[in-house]
Every structure is written in structure tokens, then in C-alpha cells.
Amino acid sequence: MVFLGLFNLYTLRINLSVAIVAMTKKYNVTQDDGTIVEEQEFDFDSKQEGLILSSFFYGYIATQLVGGYLGSRFGGHLMFGIGLGLSAFLALLIPVLAKTHLALFLTARILQGFFGGIVFPSVMVIWSQWAPIFERSLMGNITYTGAYVGTIAAMLLSGVLSVAWGWESIFYFFGSIGCIWYIAWIFVVKASPELDPFISEAEKKYIMTSIGDKGPAKQISHPWKDIFTSPAVWAVVVANFTAMWGFYTLLTQLPMFLNDTLNFNLDTTGFMSAIPYIAMVGLLFVSGYLADWVQIKGYLRTGQVRRYWNCGAFITQMAFMLLTAFATDPVLSMVYITLAVGAGAFPWSGYVVNGLDLAPSHASIIIGLSNTFGTLSGILSPIIMGYIVTDKTREQWQIVFYITAGIYLLGSIFCWFFVRGRLQPWAKIDQEKLAAKNAKYDSDKTTSVQH
């Protein structure tokens, strides 16, 4: 269900990247007197397109830390479902709002981001209750694969839907699927193994033994100063920003790049844009399996896995971004882009689950903080692109790839020195305090039952 939830989140986030190509596409219209004129439904310039594509992230960035706090306070499963359900409902309103006024269109996208922003931090709360220590990388990657399967679905289907039934059908289709998923989520998902009526006793015992009984979530008190001053936490933040810059650069702009430089048709653009993410889905399973396997076998420590998976991927992506900038052959361009995006599967076994290594009780806050900075990529990248790619030439697109390659390099250097994989001292102290509180809670509960 988390897999399907992230699938929905990314279809709702990505579908506009293809839809905006259809919304601004020029077409010939024959008038009554036989004159052929060129028209388009929405006459957005490059700066307006950048603003529209980044609008989702204005709301998304506002609720990362809030989502982490609310998830740890009221339950990750609750916030995860509400965030996605409301974001899906808003998708159904976008066609009407877009035709009414640009401001309403932007407001709907910002609100989609606002509610979608609480989703990823809530996943950390869910895994803190459900994921055994040596299954975190694989379990995380299986569910995070939903984000990329959603990306593929949005890329593949949006072009087809637009050509067959108009760009409006893109939002109606994916919005409806999201609403149906939310109804199923309410009935299927529980906060923890203890509350799941369908789990076996053996599985429940295995999970609880591995992660420990945390007691009521409301007893958690977050050490804000320690979190904000921890180099290991900031390594997670920098890795998130680095990974997301490249991810959002291609995610929001790849359809336009293919249309501008390789002259692909709308339906072809959607299929070609999906190819890199198909490669990434396959590598996510490889990345997660290898990350857990090398730890179980004792070949690498947890910190080494997080460091190597982050830095190795960033350097690889930097190289392929530079090759893409210089490539003139369409086939080679797609090969390089596919390899660059595919390498992005490995940091998902690095920084994404690293918060659980550093401080399990505060992982939702750490991922919320890192996503706040990571979301800056989603805001800045399309806007910067809008100011650079004004004439839609290959030379202007090269500058976009140069900037992305430079960010990958800087991110890999920072992560090499500051990534850690052990429970941090401040989190260990906090866990001892939490254990004492839980012991008191259990004692009080036992006394109450006896009375």
C-alpha cells in the first residue's frame, strides 16, 4: 500500500510535465474563409512554464518538517493517507481551475504540494514501526520503487491520454486512481504490528524483537538542537539536495528537452521520458538487496554502505550529465540520460534510510528536514531553467546539464567526509530516556489493569 501510495504521489506530481507540453502545443486551425492560422490553448512563456512546473514544490517544501512532526505525533499511516487523498482530490479540480485563471491553477498545484509534502516524512514513521533493522534498505527500496513506477506511468500514459481525450483527461485519470487508493488505505493499513488484526504472531514477534517496543508515539521528545547541529544529519540533507537537483531537473524538464532538441512528438516524448525511470526501477531492487547483503555478510559497515552508495552514484551521474551535454546523437543522449537516472537508484539505499540509522525515533524529522532542502531543487531548477532556456537551443540546455554536474560533484565531496551509519550519541541518550518513560508507562498500565 505504501508502494501504491508513492505511485499515486508521483503520478500526481509528474503528469503536469507532459500535460504542459499538450497545453501549450501549437496547432493549425482553418478559418471559415480558408485561412490557416496557428493557435494554442495556453500561451505560456518560458518563465511562466518554469513557475507552473515549480509551483507544486512551494507547497511541498512548507510541510516537510510539519509532516515529520505530525507523523510522529499522530501516526505515520494517518498523515500518509490524508496527504495523498487530498492531493488526489485536488487533481480532479485542476482542468477547470486552469481554464479559469492562471492564479487558480497555481494555487491548486501549490495545495497539492502542501498535502503531498507530509507523505515522505510519514513513511519514516511507518518504517520505524514496521521495518526490521536488516530489512530497511530492501523494504524501503521496494516501496520507494512506487515513486518511479508512478513516474513511468505518468510519462507513458499522459501523452497517450492527451492525444486520445485531451490534456484534461490526464488529471481526471490519475486523480480518480488516487482517491480510490485512499479509500482502500483506510481499511487496510494499521499504525503498527500490534494493531494489525491480520498479522501472524510469529511475524509480529520478529518485527517487535528487531525494532523494539517504542511505546506510545506521543512520548517522543525531539532534541531539536542536536538534530540541527549534527554533521551526520546535514550529510543526509546535502545528499537529498544533490540527488533531488538532478532528479527534478530531468523529471520536470526531460519532456521539454526531448521536444526542444530531439523534436519528438508528444506521445513519443512520453514514452522516451519513461525509459530512464524503467532502468531506475530495476536498479532500485539491486541497490536495496546489495546494501543489506554486504552488511549481513560483514563486508561493509552501515556507514560505509551509506557513503559509497551516495558518493558512487553522484560521481557516476555527474559523468553522464557531462556526456549528455556534449552528445549530439539522439540515441547517445538517451543512453547517457538513462544511465544518469538509473544510477540515482543507489542513493535511495544511502541517504533516504540513513535517518533510521542515526536516530530511529527522530527519522521522520530528519527526512523532513532533508526533504525541505531537497524540495528547493524542485523550486529552483525549473525557474533557473526558465531563465536559461529562453530560446530552447541545445547550447542553453547544455548550461542546465553543466550546473547539475557541478552540484553532483560538490554533494559527493561533502557526503564522503560527513556520512555516518551509527546511532548518534544524542539519539542514544534520548532512546534511554524514552525507554525509561515506556517502562513507567507499562508499569502504570499494569497497575491500572490490576485495579
Q: Which residue has the cell 532542502?
A: 373
If pLDDT is split at 50, 70 and 90, which confidence band does 110 have?
A: very high
Do 292 and 274 contact (CB within 8 A), yes or no? no
Does residue 448 carry a pLDDT above 50?
no
Alpha carbon distance 348, 353 (integer Å):
7
* Chain centroid to CA 34: 50
Residue-wise pLDDT tens digits, 341-391 = 889 889 988 898 888 889 887 887 888 888 888 888 877 887 787 788 877
Q: What are phi and psi of 102, to 5 degrees?
A: -60, -40
H or E element: which one contains 308?
Answer: helix 302-326
Q: Work out the mean pLDDT of the chain and round it to a whole number.
A: 82
Mean pLDDT across 176-188 = 93
Mean pLDDT across 95-114 = 92
Q: Averaging pLDDT over each range in 240-254, 278-292, 295-309, which range is the top one?
A: 295-309
Do 337 and 258 contact (CB within 8 A), yes or no? no
- Other beta carbons within 10 angstroms of residue 411's beta carbon come to 28
Question: C-alpha cell of 193?
Answer: 504490528
Does residue 7 carry a pLDDT above 90?
yes
If pLDDT is split at 50, 70 and 90, which confidence band does 80 have?
A: very high
pLDDT of residue 213: 47
pLDDT of residue 252: 62
Question: C-alpha cell of 130?
Answer: 514496521
The DSSP line for 403-421 is HHHHHHHHHHHHHHHH---
**Nearest to 83, CA basis, from 95, 98, 70:** 70
Helix axes 231-261, 330-343, angle to 10 degrees: 160
